[in-house]
Structure 1
Amino acid sequence: MDGIPAERVTDAVPAEHGTGGVPVRLRRAARATDRRPVRVLMLHGLAGSTAVWRRFTELAADELELWEAELPWAADGDTRWSHEPDPVALVAQALAGVPDGVDLLIAHSFAANAALELLAGRPAPRPGAAVLVSPFHRRSPEHFDWDTATYYLGGFQRIIDEGLRIGSDGRLPTELRAAMALRVRDRIGPYGWMRFFDAYLRSPFLDTAAIGLPALVVTGEHDFAAPPDDARALAGALPDARLRVFEESGHFPMAEQPELFAEIVSSFLPALHSSYVPEST
């Protein structure tokens, strides 16, 4: 609901899932005409929306062709997605829906975890590289305890509230924002929350060595949802990764510091070009 009209929409081939295929939309065509566009697919997190990419879309490098997925785990999505135990198939559907394939996948929060599981060995179209924003990752199952579960169960509404605050540029009154966050939390429901926590609990068992593509891991120093140490642990475990910590951001660095986010994505492109994107002729 960001007011930017869809320029092109294509539906991925439906997988064996009750909600059908995941639509993808061309958010912005590449502005550069002297070289091959870099096709980018952006995936928002749980209880979020495609609006989280608005400022990045305005500032992104000219060579980027920006696509966004209408994921069912959005704040106003079809909640039946959470009744199935494996959300990873939805990421595969989104990747399959981008014509001619995805060069760069940018995934935030819960979507980053789902994308990592896909890249670790599931049969699906693969991007050339990935930017993983505010991922949830623990090195060992011993790093989870009952206090961890209590924190995330009790803090789910707070994370949603923070997203509403950032998305509205602080314009929503506190009481209204809290009421909206409660409604979104109740809409996502226990099943949606469990899909998130399931993915988090599986993160220590992720076969990171199998993710053989360049990755950029981005985190905010003040992220109370996905702690910066999670991002540091993930970047250290991936075979080809670099880490960027935004010192003035929380869980939504692409919206809190969009200029810096656009800059670091642009600086990551040479790694993508050298390994995956053919030179223009």
Structure 2
Amino acid sequence: MSDMPGSDVGGAPSVVDAPDSATPLPQVGHLRPPWPGQELPVGGGEVFVRCTPWTGPVDGERAGAPRERALYVHGLGGASTNWTDLAGLLAVRLEGWAIDLPGFGHSRPPPRGRYSIRGHVRAVVDVLEHIRRQPGEAEGCPVHLLGNSLGGLVSLVVAARRPDLVGSLTLISPAMPVYRVPPAFSRALLLLLLPGATSLAERRLAGVTPEQNVRSMIRMCFGRPDRVPRERVEQAVEEMRIRAEQPWADRALAGSMRALITSYLRVGRANAWRMAGGLQQPTLVIWGGRDRLVDPALAPKLAAAIPDARLRVFEDIGHVAMLEAPEPTARAVLGMLEALPGG
């Protein structure tokens, strides 16, 4: 357990805040519909991936403008649609792909229905390799990787194990290993550590209506739940209804939660904190000051642990900055990319 941080992280070394970009961004006067997508083969199965086309500068010449590639990885219980707004803003520079991890969104369960951090990592690696093979000026180049919560932990592991695939790393409230379970989580979730307990969790999840599920997630994940547009709530409820019809939906959530919790027990080189210390990519750590799921006190700790990291904390935001504050998040990401050599 020596690789995990203690409960007191207030003494973590200071890090330099990431500068925001002044690049003009598209005006968002309405709620964007989800980007279209397709199924891609991964590790003997398939995952659904949404694609956001590159638009180029809002008020400048497209010729010679940066045109790079990004992959977005959602968190536990999320889907590729979590990145709709942020991917649209970053399209001024990045052609984007957003994955539905196995068992989530429109992706079917993994082969044999076993959920693990390693399995999610394999799926992300396969998609990164697919993206890098696509023809165009960025063909063969490393891809910018962005992950939130569970997707942040998965992205960190991918960047550590396959640095050749990742050009930069953005971690939004990543689910880093901790000693204590956040108060927002039900203590019953700790039962997932027991053999056979996943089926019990499935039955509990099955008893929650889509409306209850969405409103509970909003209360937990957003710093200011009252600011979520009614249209977004309705959209999320409809997505949850569709997901509730999938026979594997509850098993995917319970199984991935169990995989996340058990991953916290790893020590040595397999521990995420140890991996963070060996990252080679420029990294941006983004956190919400009102995050109820992953303690914001971990933000400076993680940024200090990563050799080339910048930190951006949004005080009034919760666990999903890309959903709650897409424009500030986009400016932070672009600020990091513009500061890179040749950026």
Normalized against structure 1, the TM-score is what?
0.76
- CA displacement 1:127-169 (0-9 Å, x = unmatched): 111111111224xx7x347989854828x96447646979973
Structure 1 unaligned spans of 5+: none
Structure showing greater radius of gyration is 2
**Equivalent residue number for residue 191 of structure 1:** 255
**Equivalent residue number for residue 111 of structure 1:** 151
Which AA in structure 1 matches 2:293? A
Identity %: 27
1:29 equivalent in alignment to 2:54 = yes
CA contact (8 A) 1:75 1:187 kept: no
CA contact (8 A) 1:106 1:130 kept: yes
**Equivalent residue number for residue 176 of structure 2:** 137
- CA displacement 1:167-197 (0-9 Å, x = unmatched): 9734548xx79x96x9597353432211122
Aligned Cα root-mean-square deviation (Å): 3.8
CA contact (8 A) 2:173 2:286 kept: yes
Residues 34, 112 of structure 1: alpha-carbon distance in 2 compared, 3 angstrom cutoff: same
1:248 equivalent in alignment to 2:316 = yes
Which AA in structure 1 matches 2:254? P
- CA displacement 1:61-86 (0-9 Å, x = unmatched): 61222222232242454234661442
**Equivalent residue number for residue 229 of structure 2:** 169
- Secondary structure of 1:65's counterpart equals strand
Structure 2 unaligned spans of 5+: 1-31, 57-61, 191-204, 206-212
Distance in 1 (alpha carbons) for counterparts of 2:317 and 2:185: 24
- CA displacement 1:93-148 (0-9 Å, x = unmatched): 1211202244311111101111212222x25742111111111224xx7x347989
Residues 162, 70 of structure 1: alpha-carbon distance in 2 compared, 3 angstrom cutoff: same
CA contact (8 A) 1:217 1:242 kept: yes
Normalized against structure 2, the TM-score is what?
0.64
Residues 26, 74 of structure 1: alpha-carbon distance in 2 compared, 3 angstrom cutoff: same
- Secondary structure of 1:234's counterpart equals helix
CA contact (8 A) 1:136 1:200 kept: no
Which AA in structure 2 matches 1:96? E
CA contact (8 A) 1:220 1:251 kept: yes
Higher relative contact order (CA 8 A, sep 6+): 2
- Secondary structure of 1:113's counterpart equals helix
Residues 250, 269 of structure 1: alpha-carbon distance in 2 compared, 3 angstrom cutoff: same
